[in-house]
Amino acid sequence: MSDHTLPLSPAHLAAFGPDFVWGVATSAFQIEGASTEDGRGASIWDTFCAQPGKIADGSDGSVACDHYHRLEADLDLIAGLGVDAYRFSVAWPRVQPLGSGDWNPPGLAFYDRLVDGLLARGIRPYLTLNHWDLPEALQQQGGWAARATVDHFVAYARGIARHFAGRVVSIATHNEPWVVAILGNETGIFAPGIQDRAVAMQVAHHLLLSHGKALQALRVDGCAAELGIVLNLAPIHAASEAPEDLAAARLSDGRLLRWFMDPLFRGAYPTDVLEHLGADAPQVLPGDLELICQPMDFLGVNYYSRSVVGAAGLVEAKSLGNPLTDMDWEIYPAGLDELLQRLHRDYPLPAVYITENGAAFADQCHDGRVRDTARVDYLARHLEASANAILAGVPLRGYMVWSLLDNFEWASGYLKRFGIVHVDYATQQRTLKDSALWYRDFLHGQHERSAA
């Protein structure tokens, strides 16, 4: 038993309801390792990690959590938490090494073992097709900036959906297209490391287009899984009421949230952002926006913090007065409720899932125990905010903790720990942190309440 008490009120606990889906989330590149085994092709993240200075600790994804070789034990670990669902991603270059053409049977077999192992343990598989690890072979042909990549993605999506038909309950096309476009192609701090705003916006458009085309194709194929996309969203607050700060915050909201939500749910890009981009706006062909605006079964929302923006740029989180995580992200649970209610007000939402929420802290493992009180508090307060959103009418249907395991945190390497399970990278020993014990007890309580 964890020795934390539950800070949620009975009304908050009841808000979730018996069908609410509780889960944990990971992604392929961050945990699998085995990056050159069994026919896996290279991804853009393998290439990026190999470039000196790109990853804070000089590390890469070649071993990560060695999940590829520890699958059965990790599945038992997931089952032991009592979750309903496990959100994972398929590494495109593991199943289709060049991103088009031949499939790789050993790669597919790994995900067969994963999906069947989840089902055998009574856990629902939530699959993400693209969690950033684009096959390097496609990057060589222009990556997401090339329109041909859209059709390669659709073929990949169809192959995966057919292969796992009847076994996965949910398929998300992309995880956080803003990150792929902006951090990967405008600021260049993520793979593939390009610094070009026009390229970034073309990438964003092609990601959205590939989402819409894939959804359309999967529906034609009779895919029965719930279909949707996962966005990283946040409230953007203005640094002050001054008109120039308000305008900067509005533009920032346009680039993060409305750039993705408007075409997905309204079939149009926001005009203020298009005007701001000028010549850097993407090339959009007739019919593209209709394709992007497909009906969706769910919207996945990844929430970590808010942003405060002024005319001078992003206000440093440490000046805002709230506690920070180890990423220097402000802890701001009220932003989750605010965000969900705003989405509900502004868009015709399908079912919403919090597909990621969690925090990195500098955890220490002593005598087999990790006392990550701050993470327990973070999770509990965000669950409270989630319950508030449900009580306000938001169609929130599920919540997944990011992340099951400490893992490869992209440009931060292994320096930042997001897991509710501690990983000792030297031994690959897994240790349930207090937050995992707390989540397990919380879920046990929720399941008992539902059964009563």
Binding site for ligand IFM (CB under 6 A): 27, 30, 176, 302, 356, 402, 409, 418
- CA contacts within 13 A on the Cβ side of 219: 14
Instruction: For ligand IFM, give the closer residue by CB, 136 or 356.
Output: 356
Residues 6+ apart with CB under 8 A from 204: 177, 178, 180, 181, 182, 259, 260, 282
Instruction: For ligand IFM, give the closer residue by CB, 136 or 176.
Output: 176
Shortest distance, position 176 Cβ to ligand IFM, whole Å: 6
Shortest distance, position 431 Cβ to ligand IFM, whole Å: 20
Cis check for the bond before 192: say yes or no (omega within 30 of 0): yes
Measured CA to CA, the distance from residue 138 to residue 130 in angstroms comes to 13
CA angle centred on 41, ends 38 and 43, rounded to 5°: 135
Measured CA to CA, the distance from residue 158 to residue 124 in angstroms comes to 20
Measured CA to CA, the distance from residue 321 to residue 79 in angstroms comes to 39
Cβ atoms within 10 Å of 198's Cβ, excluding its own? 17
Shortest distance, position 356 Cβ to ligand IFM, whole Å: 5
Shortest distance, position 248 Cβ to ligand IFM, whole Å: 24
Q: Where are the beta strands (DSSP E) in 304-425?
A: 307-310, 313-314, 351-356, 396-402, 421-424
Instruction: For ligand IFM, give the closer residue by CB, 130 or 149.
Output: 130
Shortest distance, position 71 Cβ to ligand IFM, whole Å: 20
- Catalytic residue numbers, as ranges: 176, 356
Measured CA to CA, the distance from residue 387 to residue 383 in angstroms comes to 6
Shortest distance, position 452 Cβ to ligand IFM, whole Å: 35
Paired tokens of 108: 């597919």
- Asked whether the beta carbons of 354 and 301 are under 8 A apart, the reply is yes
Residues 6+ apart with CB under 8 A from 29: 43, 45, 61, 64, 89, 91, 131, 132, 133, 408
Measured CA to CA, the distance from residue 17 to residue 4 in angstroms comes to 23
Instruction: For ligand IFM, give the closer residue by CB, 212 or 419.
Output: 419
- Asked whether the beta carbons of 36 and 138 are under 8 A apart, the reply is no
Decide: residue 427, CB within 10 A, 0-12 exposed, 13-18 middle, 19+ buried. Answer: exposed
Instruction: For ligand IFM, give the closer residue by CB, 378 or 418.
Output: 418
Phi-psi region of 194 (alpha: psi -120 to 50; beta: other; left: phi over 0): beta
Instruction: For ligand IFM, give the closer residue by CB, 269 or 402.
Output: 402
Instruction: For ligand IFM, give the closer residue by CB, 402 or 439.
Output: 402
Shortest distance, position 419 Cβ to ligand IFM, whole Å: 10
